[in-house]
Amino acid sequence: MKNLLGSSIKDLENVALDYGQAAFRGRQIYNWIYNYRNKKKNIEQIEVLPIDFRKKLKEDGFKVSELSFQEKNLAKDGTLKLLLSTCDNESIECVGIPTEKRLTACLSSQIGCPMDCKFCATGKEGLKRSLKASEILDQILFIESEMNRKVTNIVFMGMGEPLLNIDELLLAIRSINEDFQISHRKITVSTVAIPKMIKKLSAKSFQILGKCQFTLAISLHASNQKIREMIIPSAKNYDINNIIRDCRNFVKDTGRRVSFEYLMLSGVNDKLEHANELSELLKGFQCHVNLIQYNQIDEVIFKRASSKNLQLFQSRLFNNGIAVSYRKSRGIDKNAACGQLRQNARS
């Protein structure tokens, strides 16, 4: 299979030349693929191309989209969750989160997830495989088509651990930036944190992309190692102090601040003593904390922290000099919020 999605203008010009066509035919393919207004993404539907050229491309196995639509769920707040099927009959979920001025695409990087975080639905059935860059990008096309809007922001906070699929992740980011015309500064890569991979992410970004200007978000969710190991089993392989050290180096290498995701769990990590401990851990470098209310899933005993505890926690961090905000969940009524995505079709 030869997927054209993720191809640069030069790549597509070369495809056209290989078939005896003028180079501008490649540019026509390019403009057709990345224009969200063009709903038809099959090779034979690219109407600006000669019929014979389209036929040859299709016969030779060229495609634009490998994923297929399975089902969708629209939440009351306008958040759209899509269930998509892969060519090998697996399923992935992605989410479109609209506001008046932006459309954020929450993308998956793997089918399932190997990290088995205790608060998250995605890892309950393990990892099937990583996604190719074209499968990552295809999610954007589906969101744009269903919502009839151009995606403006990207968060890799869907299914999977992005840093365990780093090469395809960066190839996708290259295309998101250059082809979908979305700035690095509007792209966020969220990770549970894998030993040695934060440094590798910045190094490979400069190598593959020539820059590293996207936002790195660490799913920290704890103020100390003991709590982190309780809710994130893989944490035993990566001490929280080493994570912070590597994040400080990431800021030095890239000039970009790091965000820390902190899921507020009642009675687990939501006390003022935890806020003080977190403040001490993060003080002295360019970072930001996103406090997140827990989104309930089956099979899990965790409960969301009270609004009072969240407000007190946020105030304590702020008073301790830590940049902090509260991120409101979207799409909860359709299981489209953070931690609720999973690879099978559950409504």
Can you say whether the dihedral through the CA atoms of 342, 224, 280, 268 is positive or negative?
positive
Tell me the one-letter amino acid at 108: S
Separation of alpha carbons 165 and 136, rounded Å: 11
Q: What is the 3-state secondary structure (H, E, C) of 278-311?
A: HHHHHCCCCEEEEEEECCCCCCCCCCECCHHHHH
Q: What is the 3-state secondary structure (H, E, C) of the chain?
A: CEECCCCCHHHHHHHHHHCCCCHHHHHHHHHHHCCCCCCCCCHHHCCCCCHHHHHHHHHCCEECCCCEEEEEEECCCCCEEEEEECCCCCEEEEEEEECCCCEEEECCCEEECCCCCCCCCHHHHCEEEECCHHHHHHHHHHHHHHHCCCCCEEEECCCCCHHHHHHHHHHHHHHHHHCCCCCHHHEEEEECCCCCHHHHHHHHHHHHCCCCCCEEEEECCCCCHHHHHHHCHHHHHCCHHHHHHHHHHHHHHHCCCEEEEEEEECCCCCCHHHHHHHHHHHCCCCEEEEEEECCCCCCCCCCECCHHHHHHHHHHHHHCCCCEEEECCCCHHHCCCCCCCCCCCCC
Packed helices 9-18 and 23-33: angle between N→C axes, nearest 10 degrees: 130
Residue 345 near residue 71, CB atoms below 8 Å: yes
Residue from 106, 113, 287, 338 carrying the catalytic annotation: 338
Q: Is 93 tagged catalytic?
A: yes
Q: Is 113 tagged catalytic?
A: no
Residue from 13, 93, 135, 161 carrying the catalytic annotation: 93
Q: For the chain, state the CA radius of gyration.
A: 21
Q: Active-site residue numbers?
A: 93, 338
